């Protein structure tokens, strides 16, 4: 790649990113039926500019996975279909098998609010855990999928028991186990794993994870007093279940 091309592609990528951000501002965060006619026009115009810039950037530098990731946002916004999104997703993952941003963009695309369903989200999450090619934070996409389903697609009266459902906890556990197999030194994430173990009522796993926490970030658990109550509760539950 000559110097001019090397300089131009990142500028076009920046332009694409800026116009995508502007498009979403025009549209606003509400439901489609609340967007004004001007909002839709600005949104469509900005996404068209973004697509042109990113298409040029990709021609100049088809080795930058970030261009492919941003293109996934354009495909989402322009409703140009899942096959095109999958094409850009594959390009991004081929260039960087640890590309969490690409997986996150795909997870957004297949939410019920857009072009998928909770089943699609979980199927993709399982793929992220089971893949022999993908690494980095990618296995945690299965946790993200459950988090989204919990936040947006689970009725309030079912939220109390969501994390303790056996199939949900099996998924969360498999996501963290694969993540730590790939990233043994990323010890900060043990806080997250411990929190989910507590929600699931898996006291043995919770107690086994405690020594791995290192210096405890109490605020993550809602303060030191709350954390100590969790620990006491887990010890009590574990000892009563082993009797």
* Same-domain pairing of 108 and 173: yes
The pLDDT tens digits of the residues spanning 169-221 come to 999 999 999 999 999 999 999 999 999 999 999 999 999 999 999 999 999 99
Question: How does residue 38 score in pLDDT terms, banded at 50, 70 and 90?
Answer: confident
CATH number where 34 lies = 1.25.40
Q: Which domain holds residue 77?
A: 1-96
Query: Are both 88 and 1 inside the same structural domain?
Result: yes
Domains in the chain: how many in total? Answer: 3
Q: Quick one: three-class SS letters along 114-152? A: CCCCHHHHHHHHHHHHHCCCCCCCHHHHHHHHHHHHHHH
What tens digit of pLDDT does each residue of 40-75 get? 888 899 999 999 999 999 999 999 999 999 999 999
Residue indicated by tokens 């549209």: 27
For residues 170 and 213, membership in a common domain is answered with no
155 plus 111 within the same structural domain: yes
- Same domain for 53 and 132: no
Kindly state whether residues 47 and 81 are assigned to the same domain: yes
Same domain for 89 and 1, yes or no, is yes
| Statement to judge: residues 71 and 92 lie in one domain | yes
Spatial CB neighbours of 40, under 8 Å, sequence gap ≥ 6? 27
Q: Domain boundary at 137, 166, 183, which?
A: 183
Do 44 and 22 reside in the same domain of the chain?
yes
Q: How many CB atoms lie within 10 A of CB 156?
A: 6
Domain closes at, from 96, 115, 134: 96
**238 and 194 in one domain?**
yes
Q: Report, in angstroms and rounded to the nearest whole number, the Rg of the chain calculated over CA atoms.
A: 21
Which of 48, 71, 96 terminates a domain? The answer is 96
Q: Are 26 and 2 contained in the same domain?
A: yes
* pTM of the predicted structure, to 2 decimals: 0.91
Both structure tokens of 76: 């989402």
């Amino acid at each position: 790649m000559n110097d001019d091309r090397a300089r131009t592609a990142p500028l076009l990528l920046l332009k694409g990113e800026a116009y995508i951000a502007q498009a979403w501002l025009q549209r606003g965060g509400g439901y489609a039926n609340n967007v004004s006619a001007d909002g839709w026009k600005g949104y469509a115009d900005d996404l068209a500019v973004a697509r042109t810039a990113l298409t040029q950037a990709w021609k100049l530098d088809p080795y930058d996975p970030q261009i492919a990731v941003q293109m996934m946002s354009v495909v989402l916004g322009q409703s140009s279909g899942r096959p095109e999104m999958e094409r850009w997703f594959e390009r991004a993952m081929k260039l960087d098998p640890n590309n969490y941003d690409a997986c996150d963009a795909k997870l957004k695309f297949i939410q019920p609010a857009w072009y998928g369903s909770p089943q699609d989200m979980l199927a993709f999450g399982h793929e992220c855990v089971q893949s022999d090619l993908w690494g980095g934070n990618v296995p945690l996409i299965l946790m993200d999928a459950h988090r989204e389903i919990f936040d947006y697609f689970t009725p309030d009266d079912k939220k109390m028991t969501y994390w303790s459902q056996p199939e949900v906890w099996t998924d969360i556990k498999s996501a963290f186990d694969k993540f730590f197999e790939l990233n043994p030194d990323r010890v900060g994430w043990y806080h997250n794993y411990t929190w989910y173990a507590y929600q699931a009522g898996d006291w043995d796993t919770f107690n086994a994870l405690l020594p791995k926490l290192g210096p405890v970030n109490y605020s993550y658990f809602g303060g030191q007093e709350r954390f100590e109550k969790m620990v006491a509760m887990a010890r009590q539950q574990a000892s009563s279940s082993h009797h």
